[in-house]
Amino acid sequence: MKIMVVGGGGREHAIIKSLRKNKEITEIYALPGNGGMTGDAICVNIGAKDIEAQVKFAVENKIDYAVIAQDDPLALGAVDALTEVGIPAFGPCARAAEIESSKVFSKDLMKKYNIPTARYEVFDNSADALKYLETAEIPIVVKADGLALGKGVTVAMTREEAMNAVKYAMEDKVFGASGEKIVIEEYLEGPEVSVLSFTDGKVVKPMVSSMDHKRAHDNDEGLNTGGMGTVAPNPFYTEEIADICMETIFLPTINAMVAEGRPFKGCLYFGLMLTKNGPKVIEYNCRFGDPETQVVLPLLESDLLTVLKATTDGTLAETEVKFSDGAACCVVMASDGYPASYKKGFEITMTDAAKEFTYCAGVREENGKLYTNGGRVLGVIATADNLKDAVKKAYERVPEVNFENAYYRKDIGKRSLSALEA
Ligand code: AMP
Ligand code: GLY
């Protein structure tokens, strides 16, 4: 069986490694993939946004199943285009992907269907937004409507900061069309939980919960990043909270999308905040999270391809989705200076063992050698029976990977371990 995976980061590497456990799969192509994956997939130089080329490649190479892992191709209709030529593909159609690509759409959906989220207002011009901010309660959160590489959200602790965020998006147009509309929403507090789920539009099967560490530096200081590390499961997400989320958030969301004529198939990611008034949705993503996938998929005991296909075929109810009782930790090794400015092009060396427990992201290959090629270079992963051991093992593995200018957080999992001990 021939599979193609669209995307090129650590998440895609984790998906590919998990798919490789299925012995019926003979070839995996990564479009474009990255140089660090070459032992696991055949990288094809087709960009994640080039839908036309993806479809052509899939047809010419008789791909049996496509996995669209990244947000842009989903928003651009990769799944629709592949389905049209008879190639089944994992992920939502473009209309359903709007749950991530438009914050205005997702907030209005939650309001209409009573799904708990932060109170909000939508603005399409800066004058009204700035006027609103003059009397709004601070702290407050300003979000660009569209996709903005994870940089469209400002959690403003002062009125000035909030006003600057509005000007940045609407007057300086830093996010282009993504900032033509903005959402200004209530500031929420509480532990954050990521819950990725499989859904075929009818049933929803949550994966093991996880916790991202978004800030660049230890103790959650520094700039927001794409994610500096993850642990799974997330100890704040108890069984009782999981039940509440299923009833008040997960099922209502799946049903709302059906009612709107946009049934969602694929991986729906719930970014939740556990507030003192109950769990609330911070954001939806229409895809696997990065670096959440790097800790969630190593704990999946069921065959990944079988589950992915069940979401496409509408047979998820009859398909087992089983996770181990263990735990996992991912420590992201980044280029020093990320997410602001950083140097790249340094040679990466790693032990043979490390090739098995690293998921590559910003990595390039040349003449058999690996070089850093991005901010987040790779993730070092470990699984164990419990979280404490998984964290310990991941950090013990970090020295097995070396490159100049390497930077990583020293406290991934610390907050979760404290919660377990409390
Ligand atoms: P997002 O890109 O929507 O995930 O937002 C990035 C981060 O901003 C989240 O992970 C939260 O830590 C924070 N954030 C987003 N919305 C809120 C909110 N309403 N209240 C407090 N923090 C928020
Ligand atoms: N780790 C957050 C995301 O994938 O959006």
Tens digit of pLDDT for each residue in 390-420?
999 999 999 999 999 999 999 999 999 999 9
pLDDT at 327: 98
Ligand 2 center to 127 CA (angstroms): 31
Angle 362-367-369 from CA coordinates, rounded to 5°: 45
* Ligand 1, atom nearest to 282 Cα: 16
pLDDT at 277: 97
What percent of the chain lies above the pLDDT cut of 70?
100
152 lines ligand 2 (CB under 6 A): no
For the ranges 144-148, 237-241, 310-314, which has the lowest average pLDDT?
A: 144-148
- For 116-148, the pLDDT digits (tens) are 999 999 999 999 999 999 999 999 999 999 988
pLDDT at 175: 92
Task: Give the mean pLDDT of 179-200.
Answer: 97
On whether the CB atoms of residues 339 and 226 are closer than 8 A, the answer is yes
Query: Is the pLDDT confidence value at 198 over 80?
Result: yes
State the DSSP code for 103. Answer: H
One-character DSSP codes across 351-416? -HHHHHHEEESSEEEETTEEEE-SSEEEEEEEEESSHHHHHHHHHHHGGGEE-TTEE--S-TTHHH
290 lines ligand 2 (CB under 6 A): yes
148 lines ligand 1 (CB under 6 A): no
What Å distances lie between residue 159 and 127, 234, 389, CA to CA?
A: 15, 33, 43
* Closest C-alpha to ligand 1, atom 6: 153
pLDDT band, residue 149 (cuts 50/70/90): confident
Ligand 2 center to 193 CA (angstroms): 11
Ligand 2 center to 189 CA (angstroms): 19
Ligand 2 center to 385 CA (angstroms): 25
292 lines ligand 2 (CB under 6 A): yes
pLDDT at 271: 98
AA identity, residue 236: F
pLDDT at 223: 87
pLDDT at 34: 98
176, two tokens: 């282009």
What Å distances lie between residue 28 and 2, 24, 289, CA to CA?
A: 6, 11, 21
For residue 318, which of 304, 307, 330 has the smallest C-alpha distance? 307
On whether the CB atoms of residues 401 and 381 are closer than 8 A, the answer is no
What Å distances lie between residue 53 and 88, 97, 269, 377, CA to CA?
A: 16, 20, 27, 27
For the ranges 98-102, 146-150, 207-211, 322-326, which has the lowest average pLDDT?
A: 146-150
Query: Is the pLDDT confidence value at 151 over 90?
Result: no
On whether the CB atoms of residues 91 and 81 are closer than 8 A, the answer is no
Asked if the peptide bond before residue 279 counts as cis, ω within 30 degrees of 0, the response is no
* Closest C-alpha to ligand 1, atom 13: 155
Ligand 1 center to 261 CA (angstroms): 28
AA identity, residue 320: E
314 lines ligand 1 (CB under 6 A): no
pLDDT band, residue 13 (cuts 50/70/90): very high
Ligand 1 center to 155 CA (angstroms): 7
200, two tokens: 């075929």
Q: How far is Cα of residue 384 from the mean position of the Cα atoms in its chain?
A: 23
Q: How far apart are CA 363 and CA 397, in angstroms?
A: 18
Max Cα distance, the chain (Å): 61
Q: How far apart are CA 70 and CA 48, in angstroms?
A: 7
Task: Report the residue among 15, 209, 292 best suited for mutation to probe ligand 2: largest number of ligand atoms under 8 A from its CB.
Answer: 292
User: Which ligand ends up closest to the CA of 211?
Assistant: 2
Name beta bridge partners: 333: 378
* Ligand 2, atom nearest to 288 Cα: 4
* Closest C-alpha to ligand 1, atom 19: 187
pTM: 0.96
Mean pLDDT over all residues of the chain? 97
- For 36-66, the pLDDT digits (tens) are 999 999 999 999 999 999 999 999 999 999 9
pLDDT at 224: 85
> Could you count the other beta carbons within 10 Å of the beta carbon of residue 149?
11
